[in-house]
């Protein structure tokens, strides 16, 4: 082991305030103090210690490590004792008189209170005839996840893994693994409460899951009429997403999709021919778009260009609702058919400038779907637009993630993964073209689905779950990490089945005590349509979709809506 650092710089007052309160150092230290800290870190670097930007290591700490890595803005206070193989991420604190010894891995944003001990090794005592100090050490190591708060006077023993976002209460003696998001305390430590939603129970065995899926499907079909009646306004002859809200174009389309899935036909509240006539009448002939409904139930006139944000999704929802009703658009999507190839390319370049993966995916989805609908009507303009769109996506895919756009702060993959679903839905999936880098897509999705901010059972919503389920289904033929994919599908499916509200359907987002009052936590047509599709995709990945007795045929259909591969060259 390396020798202990012994230099002891002081503050200008002759005291060591900043050594004991190092979070103040970079805002309050004078030039001389900063120079001494820099010199100390250079000395440590000579002994193999790696310090990130704006780290602080007190000269009053004992550092005798074989390996020490400190991420950006991590500090070690006076009196701390660090030895062995220790690696900490960014924004961590090792407060006064803390002991970190042995093999210890600490994630990002971990705060460790004073007088705490993390002991990543242990003595053995197997031979009673040999003094303990002569018996070998055993090292299993300690792993601390991200965003963990460890209070003062805590002891964490060798072999323990602490999940992200956990809290170890002051004085706890931690002898066993701590689940993510748990608050533990006592000796030995036990779970007192949860900082985040508790982890879901494991998915049931396949036969039990298939039976649960069948029971769900039977109940949903039996209650489908009640779900639709709840959202039907006989005064206007329009569907509402939920009682008490305004009628929307999408609500009419969601009703069609729900009825097709559960009743194998159109919504019974209105003859199918009237529903077709109404949806077709909302299409503006000059743009081919469908504006949102006003208070009078009349569709507003869309703005020109690619695309009116208020009307864009209706290219998907109305187009597929008409298809389920045996019809199609009355007019081409003129904002696409009247555009030039340069207009399309300019729109794609504009998405690059905005640098928002979800917004780009949405725009691409609408464009790809408009091209598909126009081709149905015999309008294939602008020439080369489909090839240019697919070619640009192929050439811009990141070989490290298989996706487009960069992760957000702290590696957040939400917009990247959600944007990937939208972009591939309207292009590769809709047109039957294989996606690039499918194994990297699986890796990225499996990394994202571990993010408790979005996938704890109480925090899920239909978009986030759909946007991981569909890419896993789209890439399933690779077999890459298939056991993990099936486990994820089974777990998410088991959670989804329990969210059906009798005679009301699904809410868009899961609810808990803190979110139950939110509009998105109320059952409605959008949530019901999306979760029914999600349930099928997850059930198919889990091998139990036959038990459902339905298969999505609308916006969230699994098969291509068109086959470019069958076209003549």
State the residue for tokens 């486990």: 487
Q: What is the DSSP letter of 401?
A: T
Rounded to an integer, what distance in angstroms lies between the CA atom of residue 314 and that of residue 556?
14
Distance separating the N- and C-terminal Cα atoms of the chain: 70
Whether a cis peptide bond, with omega within 30° of 0, leads into 375 is no
Whole-number Cα distances in Å, 440 to 60, 451, 481: 47, 18, 11
> What proportions of the chain, in percent to the nearest 5, are helix, strand and coil?
40, 15, 45
Beta strand pairing status for 173-174 and 155-156?
A: parallel
Q: Among 530, 538, 556, 329, which residue's Cα sits nearest to residue 445? A: 538
How many whole angstroms separate alpha carbon 437 and alpha carbon 444?
A: 11
* 8 HSE (CA, 13 A, CB side): 12
* φ, ψ for residue 219, nearest 5 deg: -65, -45
Please report which residue ranges of 460-542 form alpha helices under DSSP H: 462-474, 482-497, 525-542
CB 221 within 8 A of CB 482: no
Task: Report d(CA 65, CA 46) in Å as an integer.
Answer: 12
Does residue 156 contact residue 142 with C-beta atoms inside 8 Å?
yes
137 Cβ contact list (under 8 Å, min separation 6) = 121, 122, 123, 124
Distance CA 275, CA 47 (A): 76
- Of 115, 123, 133, 331, which one is the catalytic site residue? 123
Establish whether 123 is a catalytic residue. Answer: yes
CA separation for the pair 535, 545 (Å, rounded): 8
By annotation, the residues acting in catalysis are 123
């Amino acid at each position: 082991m390396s020798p202990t650092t012994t230099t002891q710089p002081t503050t200008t007052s002759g005291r060591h305030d900043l050594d004991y309160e190092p979070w103040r150092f970079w805002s309050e230290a004078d030039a001389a103090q900063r120079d001494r800290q820099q010199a100390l870190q250079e000395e440590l670097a000579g002994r193999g210690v790696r310090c990130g930007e704006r780290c602080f290591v007190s000269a009053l700490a004992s550092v005798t490590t074989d390996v020490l890595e400190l991420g950006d803005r991590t500090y070690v206070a006076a009196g701390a004792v660090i030895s062995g193989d220790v690696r900490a991420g960014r924004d961590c604190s090792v407060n006064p008189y803390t002991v970190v010894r042995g093999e210890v891995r600490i994630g990002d944003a971990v705060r460790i209170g004073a007088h705490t001990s993390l002991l990543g090794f242990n003595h053995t005592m197997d031979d009673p005839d040999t003094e303990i100090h002569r018996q070998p050490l055993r090292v299993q190591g300690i792993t601390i996840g991200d965003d963990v708060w460890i209070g003062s006077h805590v002891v964490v023993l060798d072999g323990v893994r602490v999940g992200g976002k956990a809290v170890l209460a002051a004085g706890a003696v931690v002898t066993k693994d701590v689940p993510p998001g748990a608050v533990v305390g006592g000796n030995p430590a036990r779970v007192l409460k949860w900082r985040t939603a508790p982890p879901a129970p494991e998915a049931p065995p396949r036969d039990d899951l298939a039976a649960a899926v069948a029971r769900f499907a039977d109940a949903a079909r039996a209650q489908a009429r009640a779900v639709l009646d709840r959202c039907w306004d006989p005064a206007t002859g329009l569907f509402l997403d939920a009682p008490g809200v305004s009628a929307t174009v999408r609500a009419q389309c969601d009703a069609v999709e729900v009825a097709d899935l559960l009743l194998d036909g159109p919504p019974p509240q209105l003859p199918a021919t009237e529903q077709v006539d109404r949806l077709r009448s909302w299409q503006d002939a000059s743009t081919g778009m469908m504006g949102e409904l006003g208070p009078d139930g009349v569709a507003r006139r869309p703005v020109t260009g690619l695309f009116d944000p208020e009307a864009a999704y209706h290219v998907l929802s109305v187009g597929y609702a008409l298809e389920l009703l045996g019809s199609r658009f009355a007019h081409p999507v003129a904002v696409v058919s009247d555009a030039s190839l340069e207009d399309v390319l300019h729109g794609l370049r504009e998405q690059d400038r905005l640098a928002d993966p979800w917004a780009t995916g949405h725009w691409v989805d609408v464009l790809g779907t408009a091209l598909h609908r126009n081709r149905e009507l015999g309008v294939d303009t602008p020439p080369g637009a489909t090839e240019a769109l697919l070619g640009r996506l192929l050439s811009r895919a990141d070989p490290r993630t298989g996706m487009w756009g960069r992760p957000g702060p702290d590696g957040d993959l939400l917009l990247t993964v959600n944007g990937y679903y939208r972009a591939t839905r309207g292009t590769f999936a809709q047109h039957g073209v294989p996606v690039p880098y499918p194994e990297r897509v699986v890796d990225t999705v499996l990394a994202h689905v571990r993010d408790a901010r979005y996938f704890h059972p109480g925090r899920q919503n239909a978009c986030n779950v759909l946007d991981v389920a569909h890419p896993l289904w789209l890439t399933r033929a690779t077999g890459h990490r298939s056991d993990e994919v099936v486990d994820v599908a089974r777990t998410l499916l088991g959670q989804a089945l329990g969210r059906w509200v009798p005679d009301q359907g699904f809410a868009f987002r899961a609810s808990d005590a803190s979110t139950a009052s939110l509009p998105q936590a109320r059952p409605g047509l959008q949530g019901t349509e999306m979760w029914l599709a999600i349930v099928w995709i997850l059930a198919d990945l889990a091998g139990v979709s036959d038990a459902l007795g339905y298969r999505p045929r609308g916006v969230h259909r699994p098969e291509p809506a068109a086959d470019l591969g069958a076209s003549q060259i």
